Amino acid sequence: MTIKPNAFPSRLSVLLGLQGVVLTDEELSHTTERYPRCRGKEHWGVREYVRRTGVGAREYRVVRGSSIEDVYRSVERVRAAAVGTALNELDSQETPG
């Protein structure tokens, strides 16, 4: 993971835009903050969790491999999957260094 912190939000937004997904400023800020904490080389994936309260009672979290730390959460599986796909694309574009 060698993405420069100031480039990450714009690169993520562009990749999500290609999928027709736009994150709110709050979602983008949260994801930008959480991304460096989720180190590793494993692919990003989406896990489904049951929420204790609320409509729908499901939450989808984007995590790296077998980690329990999430980088993004949504009640919409499609949005979470788009974030996971975009993060995998970002990681694949990076050169080792």
Q: 8 pLDDT band (50/70/90 cuts)?
A: very high
Residue pair 80/61 in contact (Cβ under 8 Å)? The answer is: yes
The pLDDT of residue 5 is above 60:
no
The pLDDT of residue 56 is above 90:
no
**Stretch 10-22: mean pLDDT, rounded?**
96
The pLDDT of residue 1 is above 70:
no
Q: 34 pLDDT band (50/70/90 cuts)?
A: very high
What local confidence, expressed as pLDDT, does residue 24 receive?
96
pTM of the predicted model as reported, rounded to 2 decimal places: 0.86
